[in-house]
Structure 1
Amino acid sequence: MPAKGKHRRPKSSSLHRGIAAVGTGGAVLVLPVLGATAAGAATTGAAQAGTAVKPAATPDTHVVAAGDSLSKIAREHSLSGGWKKLYEDNRGVLGDDPKLIHPGLKLTLGKKSTAEPVKKTAASPASVETAAAPAKKSYTNNLDGWIKESLDIMARHGIPGTYEGIHRNIMRESSGNPWAINNWDVNAAAGTPSKGLLQVIGPTFAAYHVPGTSTDSYDPVANITAACNYAADRYGSIDNVNGPY
């Protein structure tokens, strides 16, 4: 405790300390000095205010259409690194074979975003099960839907063919009738009439049946995929068939 009659000298902060100067009239002037700490803080704040955070770029995408290939997509979008870079960026979607590309796949073009992934909270067992089992792709129950489903199956098995090539041959062979049957040609006389959309005889259907499709040769999807498998083996592709085969 200070002695009676005396007073402590109050502390002066960095903002209130001054420099004593003698003026022309002999009076003492006190000039405030900005503290070094405050000045540094002001400079730092100004620097931070002027710094803009550049958001991560969002990559473009391309939805695969019938007739597309990785090289065609890379060429159309002028991608650096060509189809190989496109394949590496989308390996999780395309799988191990870059040739197995089919309509409906969504591909990322260019460099992928480097932004940090959103942290996920713990999911319940039910939500985990739903995420692990994506919804099955649906197709219309008509000629358009049968061809598109067949093309997807063919892509998974490496069987070449396009929508136009399949449709053209179906219209020539059966006019789009999945129950069409030929009871008058040499095959019919031998007891193996041509059946279905692409008029496949029984032995050919059995030999070129694609796993995962129906064993009924009248089934539209099974008939198309078996016929395209046979055409690929004999002609290179159903696209190369322009008459009886």
Structure 2
Amino acid sequence: MAEPSGGESVITRAVRILDAFGPETTVLSLSEVSRRARLPLATTARLVKEMTRHGLLDRDEHRRVLIGTRMWELAERASPVKDLREAALQHMGDLHAVVGHSTQLGVLEGEEVLFVERLTAPGSVVNVTKIAGRLPLNASSAGLVLLAHAPDGLRERVLRGPLRSYTPHTLDREAALRAELAEVRRRGFAFCPGHIHPEATGVAVPVYRGRRVVAALGLVVPNDEEAWAFSRPLVLAGLALGRALEPNGARTGERVLRSGLR
């Protein structure tokens, strides 16, 4: 494809427009899209019009811009985590019914954890994660699990920082983070009281496909003396999900989860 003046291809500019949207910014004015995408307003208007014509974007009754349903359709069709999400939902639902708090599924994406599924309920403790939202690997329980089992090169890059902090309890120093990652590998789960929000504790376990960790299954529970007890049903759910991801393993995993949660 020929590149327009400025050296950027049309596809690159379209991607910048799509990147303007986020979990908290799903509807934007045209000028906001232009500013976030760092594109001239005229260029933004032309590309938004073309992308809307193809269903990749849409306009609401106030002419604000939002992601189109065709983009969702295409993403669902090609999603590399589709099978993982489908397998996880049953186990997340069972776990959610038992513990009564938010459950979530995260995968490693670059140097962040990307949350691909989440179940919550009215009255659950505060939870900042959202589907398609991201958090730094050092800050959340899911991130710590994924970082603990990440390739050495990636882990060392993250450890060298910078490390983002949310509360005084966030692991934002290399020595403390390195020690905690070793502890996560030893005990089999991450436990993060007050790391993201003072009122919440994150707990997460690795989800294996064969010998490889492909996701982190987590809970967000109140930050109190009972938080540690939630690790047991979560570990069982993680084991069950891992078995479900193996050929002919789903029934075995379900039996393990149900027997362990009685």
Q: What's the TM-score, normalizing by structure 1?
A: 0.24
Relative to total residues, which structure has the larger strand share, 1 or 2?
A: 2
Higher-Rg member (1/2)? 1
Relative to total residues, which structure has the larger helix share, 1 or 2?
A: 2
